[in-house]
Amino acid sequence: MSSGKNKILEDTINYLKFYQEHSSYTVYKNEINISDFSSGIFEKERVKVNLKPKEKSKPGEVLAVSQNIIKNDKEIFVKETFANAMPPKEGREEGWMECSNLDSFAEAIKDCPKCRLLAETRKQVVFGTGNPNADVVVVGEAPGADEDVQGKPFVGRAGKLLTEILKAINFSREEVFICNILKCRPPDNRNPMSDEIANCEPYLFKQLEMIKPKLILAVGTFAAQTLLRSKEPLGKMRGKFYTYKGIKMMVTYHPAALLRNPNWKKPTWEDVQLFRKEYDRIVESEK
């Protein structure tokens, strides 16, 4: 194994040890799968690590950890097998691909078992709310605590700010559709993991296919990078229009990020003004 890879392994093992020690989840399997694409060839390795399971851990009880590590602009994906080793959680996601309206779609995935950890820790799936024929779909990251309790996206502090931002450009929450990349709350509001995004994004893609909006507003890094299949930082993507499957799309800061960093309010304001202008232009051109 190259020294670069050794360093990554070491970092990962330290990360897992830290995780094991300080998180409320338990790591129970002493194996890591590494997929290395840095040489342009997909190499897979399985590495034993010396991680002792916590005493209270029971196989099948627990959890997955995964990390993307970006090295020298190339991605080395380190992903362990904990989750894969577990039996699937009981649950259904049946026939959702054939659903012909959003209500039946929401019903079909309300017991989604795909991300075992999230399925066990969520209160409910947060499908999305708003107008099923919306011209505008807003895509965020994942439900937080308030959303998990209420079953609706963007109803907490960041959600109030999103509502205000929409109002400032003359959209009501009811006329747009609001949803997230992940439909379940990640524990402690941690970032979505790449395997969770991979499990959940087909639902978002199907929602967009059903709603067929004229414009998409992606708020925050995860929404932007997921829809655009990009690794670019948000600051580079914002303020411009892109297309997602032929639908115009703009990226701007996440309202939660604005709460932490008020310096981003001005650029966000500029972005959404442009967004509104483009919306008006599209509607006008369709008359």
Positions that interact with ligand URA (CB under 6 A): 140-144, 147, 153-154, 156, 158-159, 180, 220-221, 234, 253-254, 256-257
Q: Which is nearer to ligand URA, 128 or 213 (CB)?
A: 128
Q: Which is nearer to ligand URA, 130 or 140 (CB)?
A: 140
Cβ-defined contacts of 279-284 (< 8 Å, 24+): 279/135, 279/136, 279/214, 279/215, 282/214, 282/215, 282/248, 283/135, 283/214
Q: Which residue is nearest to ligand URA (CB)?
A: 140
Q: Which is nearer to ligand URA, 20 or 221 (CB)?
A: 221
How crowded is residue 107: how many other Cβ atoms within 10 Å of its Cβ? 14
66-71 and 31-36 strand pairing: unpaired
In angstroms, what is the minimal distance from the CB of 73 to ligand URA? 19
In angstroms, what is the minimal distance from the CB of 237 to ligand URA? 10
Task: Please name the amino acid found at residue 80.
Answer: E
Contacts of 243 (CB under 8 A, 6+ apart): 249
In angstroms, what is the minimal distance from the CB of 232 to ligand URA? 12
Residue 248: strand pairing partners: 215, 243
Contacts of 73 (CB under 8 A, 6+ apart): none
In angstroms, what is the minimal distance from the CB of 83 to ligand URA? 23
What H or E segment, with its residue span, contains residue 11?
Answer: helix 3-22
Q: Which is nearer to ligand URA, 8 or 204 (CB)?
A: 204
Rounded to 5 degrees, φ, ψ at 208 are -65, -35
CA distance 178 to 77: 31
Q: What is the DSSP letter of 60?
A: T
In angstroms, what is the minimal distance from the CB of 99 to ligand URA? 22
Contacts of 249 (CB under 8 A, 6+ apart): 215, 216, 217, 218, 227, 228, 241, 242, 243
What H or E segment, with its residue span, contains residue 44?
Answer: strand 43-48
Q: Which is nearer to ligand URA, 53 or 267 (CB)?
A: 267
Q: Which is nearer to ligand URA, 1 or 198 (CB)?
A: 198
Q: Which is nearer to ligand URA, 130 or 156 (CB)?
A: 156
In angstroms, what is the minimal distance from the CB of 105 to ligand URA? 18
In angstroms, what is the minimal distance from the CB of 244 to ligand URA? 17
